[in-house]
Amino acid sequence: MGNIALITGATSGIGEGCARRFAQGGYDVIITGRNRNKLELLAGELKAHGVRVFNLVFDVRNRAECEQAIAGLPTDWADVDVLINNAGLALGLEPEYEGAYEDWETMIDTNVKGLLYMTRLVVPGMVRRNKGHIINIGSVAGDAAYAGGNVYCATKAAVKAITDGLRIDLAHTSVRVTNIKPGLVETNFSNTRFHGDKERAATVYKGIKPLTGEDIADVAFYVTSAPAHVQIAEVLVLATHQGSGSVIHRNT
């Protein structure tokens, strides 16, 4: 058996890219998400690389479901070597004083609490084995707020603080911790943010070649491939014509 990577939110975007990249790299993969059919389709594709694939269908926002999923892993899947906390989303772009309560709760429950649940459930095993790597998918949005970003930016700032805190807590071990902070990535992200308004979502990427989920997956695989004494703590990844979270040069 090879090393095992567990990837949350694997049914699209960065998570799907990570599942493919780690399978290509010889990892057995545990893919998680809420859509059983998408997971099964992806699993069929990944097995073509000659690796084992295990599907977990649950919602990271639900602590009981997280606990049940991890507790139910067969013995030969229980020792996770790489945890990629990818599941996350943005909802809405309204001013904070006009934001929807439901959107706030969904972002906080997914981006912050879901990440914490999975960390709490998986990392103790890494500590016992003195081996492992946690990759949290943060965002350039966690470095500075932008117009309409308010709560989403706050959740990604929380991801940075939580990741830094975990790295400090694990400094006495050989377990490594990385925060990958993507900029503009063309996935289902904007379509989700605008509640299915594809036309509005398309404007986000107009006039610039954005990053892809595969680009971020390459970075994730790279940081896990570094020598054991090297811990790549944080990686900011931007499209070439993106200067920051709010500065984008578009060809019009």
* Catalytic residue numbers, as ranges: 152
**Token pair 């892809």: residue:** 212
Q: How many CB atoms lie within 10 A of CB 7?
A: 33
Q: What is d(CA 53, CA 246) in angstroms, rounded to the nearest whole number?
A: 38
Token representation of residue 136: 């949290």
Residue-by-residue DSSP string for 47-83 = GGGT--EEEEE--TT-HHHHHHHHHTS-GGG---SEE
Among 84, 93, 96, 55, which Cα is nearest to 192's?
93
Token representation of residue 211: 């990053």
Q: What is d(CA 237, CA 194) in angstroms, rounded to the nearest whole number?
A: 23
Q: Which residues contact 55 (CB under 8 A, 6 or more apart)?
A: 30, 31, 32, 36, 39, 40, 43
DSSP code for 1: -
